[in-house]
Amino acid sequence: MSVRELVILGTSSAVPTRRRNHNGYFLRWGDQGVLFDPGEGTQRQMRLAGLAATDITRICVTHFHGDHSLGLPGVIQRIARDRVPHTVRVAYPGAGEEYWRRLRHATSFHDTEVILPQPVGGSGCCATGEGEPFTITALPLRHSVPAYGYRLVEPDGWRMSPERLERHGVRGPDVSRLLREGRIEVAGREVALAECADPRPGQVFAFVMDTGECEQAVELARGADMLVIESTYLDSEERLAREYRHLTARMAGRIAARAGVRLLVLTHLSERYEQEREGEFVAQAAEEFDGRIVLAADLDRVAVPPRRRTG
């Protein structure tokens, strides 16, 4: 299967630290590359991670606070400078159109026509583009400014069985025809796809940034193979989390548990916490969620879990 992994470019919240850059997350999904929430310093972090502007096929911005979007001008200008040939769709909250326009043309540069804006709005919408191997759904979150989370869903498919194909005499071009048409005739007998293959569930990736606890966060994460979610605070700052419409690690774990997530990636840590306290984020989330938990660190690579097995 093609490479599917999250490359973590930055993990701090409002203020970067010596160890944590402003936000930035690159999801490699086969030949697709989705850049989420490019904060300041994203270009440099991409360089350190071995990523090029040509790797980006889409950008998703959750909201227009600076730590999630001030890297946009540099990334867009790098796309122009490197003459990226393919379309790069950019999803962002339509309510922040004025901020998008400012960031899109923040300074003078030789512009590019490959940037295609896709503002999202309302109670939920689809931002999928032609040729993309997944569906992208955006749902509104509960923050101090309009904010959206994103859910990428790969369509369900089939896993062919070489032994069963051979048993039914399906060979060569007939294999792809069976997959395409669902049933074909072989040697005077009709063969159905289900006789030669097993259902292959599509993979799901969810991205939830600045928000208070809400049902939309759970819906975005429902059944996700990987959930990347903010966990700005620990329990000791729960009051601040509720006041500023953020999550604690415990709240993030609760959302993951309710949604049936497989892998929980915690990020967007407040600068107030020193390194020796970082283990508390995983510990507090684990009191709510009994699955695998990763505390994100800059330049880490986290593989999307292998497909669920059926049957």
Which sequence positions are flagged as catalytic?
A: 67
| 3-class secondary-structure state, position 84 | coil
Listed in sequence order, the residues at least 6 apart from 227 whose beta carbon sits closer than 8 Å to its beta carbon are: 206, 208, 221, 255, 256, 259, 261, 263, 264, 265
Using DSSP, state whether 227 is helix, strand or coil: strand
CA 152 to chain CA mean position, Å = 7
**Of 46, 90, 38, residue with least CA distance to 65:** 38
Q: Which residues pair with 292 in a beta bridge?
A: 263
In terms of residues, how long is the chain? 311
Do residues 11 and 34 touch, judged by C-beta distance below 8 A?
Answer: no
With contact defined as beta carbons under 8 Å apart, do 63 and 146 qualify? yes
* Eight-state DSSP code of residue 269: B
Q: Which amino acid is at 67?
A: D
Measuring CA to CA, which residue among 269, 272, 262, 303 is closest to residue 284? 269
Q: Which residue in 240, 297, 288, 242 sits closest to 265, CA to CA?
A: 297
Given a contact cutoff of 8 angstroms between Cβ atoms, the answer to whether 251 and 241 are in contact is: yes
Burial 137-150 (b: 16+ CB within 10 A, else e): bbbbbebeebbbbb
